[in-house]
Chain A
Amino acid sequence: MTELNSKNSNFRLIILAMFVGIISAVAGISLWKVMQGPPQPSDAALMVLPEPRVIADFALVDDEGAPFSLDNLRGRWSLMFFGYTHCPDVCPSTLYDLKLIQEKFDQLNGDAASSLQVLFVSVDPERDSPEQLKQYVSYFHPGFTGVTGPQEQLAPLTMQLGIAYRIDEHEAGSPQYNVDHSVSILLMDPQGSLHGVFPAPHDADKMAGELAAAIN
């Protein structure tokens, strides 16, 4: 009698163990699946527009105080990045990426290096004078050009290029305010049209390679 009982309870224990086992297996696989990565989209760094986007002329100034318009984009390829010199993190790190890209691009291209210009456009003309821009961009690379201009000129240009920015409200003359802005790097073709966009995050090696391929 006692033997039978113990057999019975052993049997129950086995069933219970199996049941717990199956449940944990299903739960385990479920958790593992939900944590697994998704299928990968194209991993190209450069997103090329189906048709280059033609941009209306604009009147800005470069870091020497000289006029800077659509004409200054013509005749060579340009990388454009929008930001401001008081930017705490994104702008310095992106300009550093641009410096690496310029160097890698120069290595890949040798003499053709001059066919690329790198532009940093400040959307904060209230604080960023041409002189200040010059000092700021040369710190990253002597070949970089700073550009800025009045908001009436910046607004339509950034709108056409798909660059968003918002300047925090502040008292006139107050030096303390932030600017939110898009961090995409734009590639302009030698006609001055938008050819493609490098969305963040920016991998300098990859970008330089794809840039060289796009230009050549």
Chain B
Amino acid sequence: MSVIEAEKLTRKFGDFEALKGVSLSVEKGEFFGLLGPNGAGKTTLVRILTGQLEPSSGKASTMGTGPEDPIGIKRKIGIVPEAESPPTFLTAREFLELVCRIRQVPDAGSKVAHWLDFFQISEKKDVLCRDLSKGQRQKVMLAAAFIHEPELLILDEPFINLDPIFQKRLREYLWSVTASGRTVFMCSHILEIVEKLCTRVAVINQGRIVAQGKLDEIRQNEGEGLEDIFMRLVEGDGENGGEGRKGS
């Protein structure tokens, strides 16, 4: 069962075409990685899939809901945006309480306490978010995406600003998410993490998906690592675009 479907998606910003006919699908229970160089169109695609942006043409569906119902999409999923931006004048605890109220999360008090504890920011729970460090703000944003235990997590660079200890903790948590049958869709530049975590990947370059499938399926040679694959696709024939290489 597909939780994400995109078909011939395009998105223009004035004369600039950020997405040029992107098609992909993500199945329930997958750990899906979206890779691409800076400006390739990753964040634009994520913003369409999370209801933050409407496509110029094409179809998209996230958990069965299209971009025409942005609130409906956001209600069903958890999102970590590219840039951490928790509220300026609320404390970390209040922000998580606010998210629980907006999403009508039952047993909110214990869930807030759990996630503050998970990210080891209980000590900072009463500090205004604007006065937290970047890493702490990223932890607050991650907690806000996880707290309602959604069936689908869409994460844009979730490991950014996290120290190695919390990168490991987050990896383990995301593994447990997919192990329980839920789905993770992640954009990341950290190829090592993507290689370790993702069951399937897509590579986007200049607004086109140039390859998608399991790593084995898009690998050309035995022993070719994700970095080699990425460099080959992006530096090599990335401009060919179109359908690119398809895996399964």
A in complex with B? no
Write the residues of chain B forming the contact surface with A, with a CB cutoff of 8 angstroms: none
